[in-house]
A and B are shown apart, each in its own frame.
Chain A
Amino acid sequence: MAKKIALLQGNEACAQGALYAGCNFFGGYPITPSTEVAEVMAGELPKVGGKFIQMEDEIGAMASVIGAALAGSKALTATSGPGASLKQELIGYACIAEVPCVIVNVMRGGPSTGMPTGPGQSDVMQARWGTHGDHAAIALCPSSCQEIFSETVRAFNLAEKYRMPVQVLFDEIVGHMRERIEFPEPGELEVINRAKPSVTPEQYKPYDTSFGNVPPLAAYGSEYRFHVTGLNKAEDGFPTTKASLVDAEERRQIFKVECDEARADVESNEEYLTEDAEVIIFAYGSTSRSARYAVNELRSQGVKAGLFRPITLWPFPEKRVAQLGEQAKGMVVAEMNLGQMVFEVERIVKNTCKLGRVNRVDGEPINPTEIMNQVKEVL
């Protein structure tokens, strides 16, 4: 049978990806430029027995997602700009309580209301450090409509596998543009479901590390009864201030994502003509599309340029960026903000190569010419 194909907006592809992954709860509050994600979920979830709820604001929306996720649902919210800011405290709650859920942020500029209808990439550091306290973060950053579909599926998988909130960041340009999508057949993309506890309800502890760094999560409200809190907790879920327990808890929650094994599983990059590249363009989301255009133009002019595109922004692809820094004469970081990921690149490549940057926050995309000019500066 021929595959279903359609011309879809990035936001619509995101919702379709969520449905493919088995998402059965959406709690949100509409905000430009993310609204179409909610719009599609509102239409589709009732058809598959899921729940859609529009809450009183973004904070309530995030709270509903945490509740639904704890109760066993695959839960999603989508937001933008100030909506993402409002969700931060509860994202921290989902981190410490280890609640699997997916937060989509269709990025516009900022701070505050900023320019609601313009594209931006200025929430990439917020995705890492927006909520207070030490915590791990997973953030994925697709650059095409098809990839928004597949990365949304992957976000649900990672959320379930690592029992934590996962963010999908894409900018307004890919959120609103339309491209042809091939819908994967059921089973074609991996869909990971939550590990169930193997012990009886009486024996169950929600943070029992004898089951590994990611203890199984029972459905809240089922026969498994347990306590959930935003306080540092012991393995039974009740609050503790015991120094050794708090320390071990905090370290485990970072280690579960940042250990070598997890990094190898979570990290995902695309490289284009990097093997012999003398200059590497580091770009993500829609900006990477301008960068790819620039690489082709530069190659036709005899400049050995290549593109490194992190699809997983967090955890940051430290090893590979370090290697590319050793290999290249220069690196150019292009992003629709006034310089955010460039600091991570700088931290990793140190002084091994020259570093250039292209930044833009006027609501216009970074065009290939701007990138090409900067490449010539660092060579």
Chain B
Amino acid sequence: MAQRYEIRFSGAGGQGLITAGIILAEAASIIEGRHAVQSQSYGPEARGGASKSEVIIGDGPIDYPKATIVDACLAMTQEAADKYANGIKSGGLLLVDSDFVKNPPQGDYKIYDIPIMRTAKVEVGREIVANVIALGAMIAMTDIVKRESGEQAVLAKVPEAFKDLNKKAYNLGFEKAKEILGK
């Protein structure tokens, strides 16, 4: 059976987490030529409320397209953490936005925190790139795709005028996560 690696991005609807999932799936399947399936929770409450996007990555065809045991989970808000930070595998990881998730659900996995929204606002100057910072951080923490593949996929997704902004956001997220892991 093909190995599968499961990543879940969760947060408030409109934060761009579905886009983050799509970019990760593109990095894995288009740029690196591996297998990936991306799906999302999809409901009338999709804007505001909690939303999630899941990416399954494997070296062979992926059968069941939804998460079974999550290897790595991102939660940008407390509501998303309460609703979606579950089913995380023993030894897996949960990354939360430290300003918004005050009580991350505890379990047999590592919990890391980064002030993602604040980094977007203060260090990049645009809150809208928080999802790209989060993506960079998740790739750094999981090594599931190469750093360059993630960057390439981000840049392929955004209009010319926003390439520098997103490149900065992606690498900032990546560096911050590596810094935390190095501690």
Contacts and interface: CB of A to CB of B under 8 A. Distances in A.
B22 A178 contact: yes
Contacts of A365: 64-66
A125 interface: no
Please classify the interface of chain B as helix (H, G, I), strand (E, B), loop, or mixed, using the class held by over half of its residues: mixed
Contacts of A172: 42
Interface in A308-325: none
Contact of B25 (A5, A116, A178, A296): A178
Interface string A110-123: 00000011000000
Given A7-B22, A296-B1, A179 B37 contact: yes
Q: Taking each of A33, A172, A173, which has the highest tally of chain B beta carbons within 10 Å of its own beta carbon?
A: A173
B20 to A, nearest CB: 13
A180 interface: yes
Interface stretch (A40-48, A222-230, A285-293): A285-293
B44 A117 contact: yes
User: What is the size category of the interface that chain B forms with chain A?
Assistant: 20 to 34
Interface stretch (B28-36, B78-86, B104-112, B144-152): B28-36
Interface string A173-188: 1101111100000000
Contact of A117 (B26, B29, B43): B43
B142 interface: no
Nearest to A179: B37
A6 interface: yes
A35 to B, nearest CB: 12
A368 interface: yes
Contacts, number: 62
Interface string B63-81: 1111010000000000000
Interface in A265-301: 286, 289-290, 292-293, 296-297, 300
Contact of B63 (A117, A176, A178, A290): A290
B65 A289 contact: yes
A355 B4 CA distance: 31
A117 B40 CA distance: 11
B38 interface: yes
Given A7-B38, A177-B39, A179-B37, A286 B1 contact: no
A300 B1 CA distance: 9
Contacts of B36: 7, 179-180
A229 B39 CA distance: 44
Q: Taking each of A173, A174, A289, A367, which has the highest tally of chain B beta carbons within 10 Å of its own beta carbon?
A: A289
Contact of A293 (B40, B43, B63): B63
A290 B64 contact: yes
A174 B62 CA distance: 13
Q: Taking each of A178, A179, A365, A368, which has the highest tally of chain B beta carbons within 10 Å of its own beta carbon?
A: A178
Contacts of B44: 116-117
Contacts of A177: 37-39, 65
A297 B2 CA distance: 12
Nearest to A176: B42
B42 to A, nearest CB: 5
B40 A179 contact: no
A339 B29 CA distance: 36
B40 A176 contact: yes
A6 B30 contact: yes
Interface in A163-207: 172-174, 176-180
30 contacts: A5-B30, A7-B25, A7-B29, A7-B38, A117-B42, A117-B44, A172-B42, A173-B66, A176-B40, A176-B42, A177-B37, A177-B38, A177-B39, A177-B65, A178-B25, A179-B29, A179-B37, A179-B38, A180-B35, A289-B63, A289-B65, A290-B63, A290-B64, A293-B63, A293-B64, A293-B68, A296-B1, A296-B63, A300-B1, A365-B66
Please provide the 3 A-B residue pairs with the shortest distance between their CB atoms, ordered closest to farther: A180-B29, A292-B63, A177-B39
Given A117-B43, A296-B63, 20 more contacts: A5-B30, A7-B22, A7-B26, A7-B30, A116-B44, A173-B39, A173-B65, A174-B65, A178-B39, A179-B29, A180-B35, A180-B36, A289-B64, A289-B65, A290-B63, A290-B64, A293-B64, A365-B64, A365-B66, A367-B64
